[in-house]
A and B are shown apart, each in its own frame.
Chain A
Amino acid sequence: DTAVSQTPKYLVTQMGNDKSIKCEQNLGHDTMYWYKQDSKKFLKIMFSYNNKELIINETVPNRFSPKSPDKAHLNLHINSLELGDSAVYFCASSSGLGNTIYFGEGSWLTVV
C-alpha cells in the first residue's frame, strides 16, 4: 500500500494548457509538500501545507495553485503551462520538524 501516491506519473502537454497533479498520503501526517526537481536534478520546495493551511510558498509563480481539500490530499494545479515548467514534481508528507519526509514517486511533466 503506497504511502504517498501521486497521479499522473507522466504527463505530456502543450504550452498554454492547464493541468493538475493529484497527491494523497495514507500516513496520517499533518504536513504535505510539493517539491520541484529541474532538469539538473536540483530539488527545491514549492509549497507546504499544514492541516490544510498553506504555510510555505517559495516565490512560485501564481500560475501554480496548490489546493488541500483535507489533510490527506494536496493537489497542484498549473495554469498556462510554459516550457520551463517541464520538470519532475514530487509530493511529500511528514509529521513535522525533524521527522522523515516521505516522497511520492514523482510526476514527470513535459511541456511541448
Chain B
Amino acid sequence: AQSVTQLGSHVSVSEGALVLLRCNYSSSVPPYLFWYVQYPNQGLQLLLKYTTGATLVKGINGFEAEFKKSETSFHLTKPSAHMSDAAEYFCAVSVDAGGTSYGKLTFGQGTILTVHP
C-alpha cells in the first residue's frame, strides 16, 4: 500500500523567504503525486500535480514541485513567500492498483505554513 510522509507539521518563514515543504512517498508502483492547499474553514484546492513526463511541475500561486524517483520525494517550493500563502498544505499520492483504486488519494499529515511579516 502507498503512504505519504510530510516532514514537519509546522513550517514558519518570513515574508519574501523561500518556502520548502517536504513530502516523501512510498509506493511499489509509479505514483501520481499531488499538493493541495487548505485555507481555514475551507475545502482543498489543488496546487499542482505530477502524473507523467516532466518531473518539475509548476502550479498556481508561484508554487512548484519536483518529482525525484530516486529519493521518493515530491517537495513543494516557492521562491518568495507571501502573507497570503499561510495555510495548511497536504501532499497526496494515488496509484494504479490494477483498476481498483479509481484515483483515490492517500494523504500526508499536512504541514501548516506560517508567514511572518
Q: Which A residues form the contact surface with B (CB < 8 A)?
A: 4, 31, 33, 35, 40-45, 48, 50, 55-56, 90, 94, 96-106, 108
Q: How far is the CA of A96 from the CA of B42 in the complex (A)?
A: 24
Q: Which residue in chain A gives the minimum CB-CB distance to B52?
A: A98
Q: Which B residues form the contact surface with A (CB < 8 A)?
A: 32, 34, 36, 41-46, 49, 51, 88, 90, 92, 94, 96, 100-107, 109-110
Q: A44-B107, A45-B104, A56-B102 are in contact. Are A98 and B43 (CB under 8 A)?
A: no
Residues of B within 8 A of A48 (CB): 102, 104
Given A43-B44, A45-B105, A97-B101: 8 more A-B contacts, CB < 8 Å: A35-B105, A90-B44, A97-B94, A99-B103, A101-B103, A103-B43, A103-B45, A104-B43
25 residue pairs from A and B, CB less than 8 Å apart: A35-B105, A40-B109, A42-B107, A42-B109, A43-B90, A45-B105, A50-B102, A90-B43, A90-B44, A94-B103, A96-B102, A97-B96, A97-B101, A98-B51, A100-B34, A100-B49, A101-B34, A101-B103, A101-B105, A102-B46, A103-B36, A103-B44, A103-B45, A104-B43, A108-B41
